[in-house]
């Protein structure tokens, strides 16, 4: 998004005045939209990413877009797979801004591949980024600040409710984060911590995602399977995140909000070709060894 573009929000101005947030992967795609809206609402935001050059360029653009005098932005390099770097991200944010109210775990990554072709190195990289990285960020935010002061965490996952063909590694990791969200919502409730997840549909279009997958056409092919018959926007994910961070969601914890226009209920993009590779089981065709006959002459089935 260019610097001259206007940023806005459906929420009231200064909703997050004096609040501090960390947004991992906050310089591109969905993470950038979340950062823009938080800044518009008066939040102080630390964005983090593994690639410092791209993060620094995004930070310059985001800084130029700030229209709320209460908002502040900072950025730092962090590979969320590295425990020491995650610890440093949390401690630096608290030192810089004096507190930590919100954590948005948006950082992640994956690549399309049949499960049979995924090498262990690629599998581990995706699991460590999407699951272990999210866990480390949650744990350190809790241990370094939220255990004593409370806070709100939102994890960005994915539409994996019908499985995730061609993305089995990230489907497994995101499903695990869905369960992690539920577990932490119970463990940390007495510490004043709420934690929820947002699951964007696979039809949320962003220039970053289109570049990662090689072509915007991959998104357009999904439109027939979307009840709204259009693609979703990054702003629609950002609005869902800001809702869950806000006092309007103060009685919501341990939940996952799907933002997919009902696509997860409607259909799947995955087509299975006609085949006869899974034969039916029938009693009358079951071959049973005659030696397993019961004394009364009947055949044992198991």
Is the pLDDT assigned to residue 180 strictly greater than 70?
yes
Is the pLDDT assigned to residue 273 strictly greater than 50?
yes
Mean pLDDT lowest among 36-45, 122-131, 262-271, 273-282? 262-271
Angle at 30 between CA 132 and CA 21, to 5 degrees: 70
Mean pLDDT across the chain, nearest whole number? 92
pLDDT digits (tens, 9 = 90+) for 34-65: 999 999 999 999 999 999 999 999 999 999 99
Is the pLDDT assigned to residue 292 strictly greater than 80?
no
pLDDT (mean) for 106-134: 96
Helix (H, G, I), strand (E, B) or coil at 237: helix
Q: For residue 11, give the DSSP letter.
A: S
Is the pLDDT assigned to residue 296 strictly greater than 80?
no
For the sheet with 72-77, list strands across it. Answer: 72-77, 44-49, 20-24, 102-105, 151-156, 193-200, 256-259
Cα–Cα distance, 291 to 158 (Å, whole number) = 52
Cα–Cα distance, 27 to 107 (Å, whole number) = 10
- Residue 205's pLDDT is 80
Is the pLDDT assigned to residue 15 strictly greater than 80?
yes
- Residue 287's pLDDT is 59
Helix (H, G, I), strand (E, B) or coil at 104: strand
pLDDT digits (tens, 9 = 90+) for 211-245: 766 666 777 888 998 999 999 999 999 999 999 99
Position with higher pLDDT, 180 vs 213:
180
Helix (H, G, I), strand (E, B) or coil at 59: helix
- Residue 210, judged by CB atoms within 10 A of its CB (0-12, 13-18, 19+), counts as middle
- Residue 2's pLDDT is 45
Helix (H) or strand (E) holding 201: none
**Pairing mode of beta strands 20-24, 44-49:** parallel
- Residue 211's pLDDT is 72
- Residue 300's pLDDT is 52
pLDDT-based confidence at residue 3 (cuts at 50, 70, 90): very low
Is the pLDDT assigned to residue 295 strictly greater than 60?
no
| Token pair listed for 249 | 């969601």
- Residue 268's pLDDT is 77
Domains of the chain (ranges; CATH) run 20-270 (3.40.50.720)
| Token pair listed for 189 | 């409730």
Residue from 261, 245, 235, 195 nearest 5 by CA:
235
| pTM summary value | 0.90
Position with higher pLDDT, 269 vs 9:
9
Mean pLDDT lowest among 1-5, 14-18, 53-57, 70-74? 1-5
Helix (H, G, I), strand (E, B) or coil at 210: helix
Q: Which residues pair with 38 in a beta bridge?
A: none
């Amino acid at each position: 998004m260019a610097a001259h573009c206007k940023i806005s929000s459906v929420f009231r101005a200064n909703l997050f005045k004096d609040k501090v947030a960390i947004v991992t992967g906050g310089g591109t795609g969905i993470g950038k939209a979340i950062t823009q809206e938080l800044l518009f609402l008066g939040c102080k935001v630390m964005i983090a990413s593994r690639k410092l050059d791209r993060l620094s360029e995004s930070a310059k653009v985001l800084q130029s877009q700030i229209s709320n005098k209460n908002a502040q932005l900072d950025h730092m390099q962090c590979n969320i797979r590295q425990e020491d770097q995650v610890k440093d991200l949390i401690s630096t944010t608290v030192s810089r801004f004096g507190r930590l109210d919100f954590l948005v775990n948006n950082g992640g990554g994956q690549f399309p591949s049949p499960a049979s072709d995924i090498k262990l190195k690629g599998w581990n990289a995706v699991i460590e980024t999407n699951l272990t990285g999210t866990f480390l960020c949650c744990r350190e935010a809790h241990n370094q600040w939220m255990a004593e002061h409370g806070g709100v965490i939102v994890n960005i996952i994915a539409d994996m409710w019908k499985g995730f063909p061609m993305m089995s590694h990230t489907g497994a990791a995101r499903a695990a984060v869905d369960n992690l969200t539920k577990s932490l919502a119970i463990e940390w409730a007495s510490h004043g911590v709420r934690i929820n997840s947002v699951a964007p549909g696979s039809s949320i279009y962003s220039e970053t995602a289109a570049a990662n997958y090689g072509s915007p056409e991959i998104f357009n092919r999904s439109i027939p399977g979307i009840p709204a018959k259009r693609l979703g926007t990054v702003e629609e994910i950002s609005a869902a995140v800001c809702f869950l961070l806000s006092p309007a969601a103060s009685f919501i914890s341990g939940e996952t909000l799907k933002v997919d226009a009902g696509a997860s209920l409607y259909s799947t993009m995955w087509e299975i070709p006609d085949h006869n590779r899974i034969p039916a089981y029938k009693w009358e065709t079951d071959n049973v060894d005659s030696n397993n006959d019961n004394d009364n002459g009947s055949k044992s089935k198991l």
